[in-house]
Amino acid sequence: MNTPVSIKDAIHTRHSIRRFLPAPVAADTVREILDLAARAPSGTNVQPWKVYALAGPEKEALGRAITEKYLASGFEKTDFDYYPKEWVEPWLSRRRKVGADLYALLGIVKGDKERMTGQWIRNYRFFDAPVGLIFTIDRIFGSGMLLDYGMFLENLMLAARAFGLDTCPQAAFSDFQNTIRQTLGLPENERVICGMALGYAEPEAPENQLITERVPAREFTDFRGFAQ
Ligand SMILES: Cc1cc2nc3c(=O)[nH]c(=O)nc-3n(C[C@H](O)[C@H](O)[C@H](O)COP(=O)(O)O)c2cc1C
| Average confidence (pLDDT) over 139-148 | 95
Tens digit of pLDDT for each residue in 162-191? 999 999 999 999 999 999 999 999 999 999
Task: Please name the residue whose Cα sits nearest to atom 5 of ligand 1.
Answer: 170
C-alpha distance across the termini of the chain, in Å: 38
Tens digit of pLDDT for each residue in 107-138? 999 999 999 999 999 999 999 999 999 999 99
**CATH number of 7-76+83-212, picked from 3.40.50.1980, 3.40.640.10, 3.20.20.10, 3.40.109.10:** 3.40.109.10
* 67, pLDDT greater than 90: yes
- Per-residue confidence band for 96, with pLDDT thresholds at 50, 70 and 90: very high
Task: Please name the residue whose Cα sits nearest to atom 13 of ligand 1.
Answer: 170
Tens digit of pLDDT for each residue in 15-38? 999 999 999 999 999 999 999 999
Please name the amino acid found at residue 215: V
Test site for ligand 1: of 102, 170, 173, 213, most ligand atoms within 8 A of the Cβ: 170
The more confident residue out of 228 and 219 is 219
Q: Cβ-count burial of 66 within 10 angstroms (0-12 exposed, 13-18 middle, 19+ buried)? A: buried
* 78, pLDDT greater than 90: no
CA–centroid distance, residue 169 to ligand 1 (Å): 5
Task: Please name the residue whose Cα sits nearest to atom 4 of ligand 1.
Answer: 170
* 146, pLDDT greater than 60: yes
Q: Give the pLDDT confidence score for residue 64 in this predicted structure.
A: 98
Report the alpha-carbon distance of residue 75 to residue 173 in Å, rounded: 10
Q: Which ligand 1 atom lies nearest to the CA of residue 173?
A: 8
Exposure letters 131-158 (e unless 16+ CB within 10 A, then b)? bbbbbbbeeeeeeebbebbebbbebbbb
| Average confidence (pLDDT) over 54-71 | 98
Task: Please name the residue whose Cα sits nearest to atom 9 of ligand 1.
Answer: 170
* 81, pLDDT greater than 90: no
CA–centroid distance, residue 66 to ligand 1 (Å): 19
Cβ within 8 Å of residue 92, ≥6 positions away: none
